[in-house]
Amino acid sequence: MSQYLITPGEPLHGTVAISGSKNASLPILAAGLLSKEPSTFEGIPVLSDTAHMMELIACVGGNVDQLDPSTVSVSLSEDSKRKTPSLELFSRLRASFLVMGPLLARTGRARIPLPGGCQIGARPIDLHLKGFSAMGAKIKQGHGYVEARCDHLMGNRIYLDFPSVGATENLLLAACLAHGETIIENAAAEPEIADLARCLSKMGAKIQGAGSDTITITGKDSLSACRHTVIPDRIEAGTFLAMAAASRGDVTLTNICPNHVKPVIAKLEEMGFDLEAGEDFLHISPCEKFRAVDIKTLPYPGFPTDMQSQFMALMSVADGTGVVVETIFENRFMQVPELLRMGAKIKLDGRTAVIDGTRKLSGTQVKATDLRAGAALVIAALAAQGETRITNIEHMERGYEHFVEKLSSLGAKIEKLETE
Closest separation between CB of residue 107 and ligand UD1, Å?
22
The residue among 8, 5, 4 whose CA lies nearest residue 411 is 8
Closest separation between CB of residue 89 and ligand UD1, Å?
16
The catalytic residue positions are 118
Closest separation between CB of residue 407 and ligand UD1, Å?
21
Nearer to ligand UD1, 164 or 252 (CB): 164
Q: How far apart are alpha carbons 90 and 381 in whole angstroms?
A: 33
Sign of the alpha-carbon torsion through 171, 138, 64, 47: positive
Asked whether position 127 contacts ligand UD1 by CB under 6 A, the answer is yes
Count of residues that interact with ligand UD1, criterion CB under 6 A: 23
Site string for ligand UD1, 303-322 (x = CB under 6 A): --xx----------------
Beta strands, E only, 52-192: 63-68, 71-75, 109-113, 138-142, 145-149, 157-159, 181-185
Asked whether position 23 contacts ligand UD1 by CB under 6 A, the answer is yes
- Choose one: 119-127, 253-261, 345-353, 374-382; the region binding ligand UD1 (CB under 6 A): 119-127
Beta strands, E only, 203-340: 206-208, 214-218, 227-229, 250-254, 275-277, 281-284, 295-296, 321-325
Among 126, 276, 280, 405, binds ligand UD1 (CB under 6 A): 126
What does the CA dihedral 255, 258, 262, 264 come to, rounded to 10 degrees? Answer: 40
For 316, which DSSP code?
T
Nearer to ligand UD1, 128 or 267 (CB): 128
Q: For ligand UD1, which residue has the nearest CB?
A: 166
- Choose one: 71-79, 164-172, 314-322, 334-342; the region binding ligand UD1 (CB under 6 A): 164-172
Asked whether position 121 contacts ligand UD1 by CB under 6 A, the answer is yes
Q: How far apart are alpha carbons 239 and 251 in whole angstroms?
A: 12
Instruction: Kindly give the pairing relationship between strand 206-208 and strand 214-218.
Output: antiparallel
Q: Which of residues 186-205 bind ligand UD1 (CB under 6 A)?
A: 188, 192
Q: Which of residues 322-361 bind ligand UD1 (CB under 6 A)?
A: 328-329
The residue among 236, 315, 305, 323 whose CA lies nearest residue 273 is 315
CB 353 within 8 A of CB 324: yes
Question: Using alpha carbons only, what angle is made at residue 317 by residues 315 and 321, rounded to the nearest 5 degrees?
Answer: 50
Nearer to ligand UD1, 368 or 414 (CB): 368
Write out the residues near ligand UD1 by the rule CB under 6 A: 23, 26, 94-95, 121-128, 162, 164-167, 188, 192, 305-306, 328-329
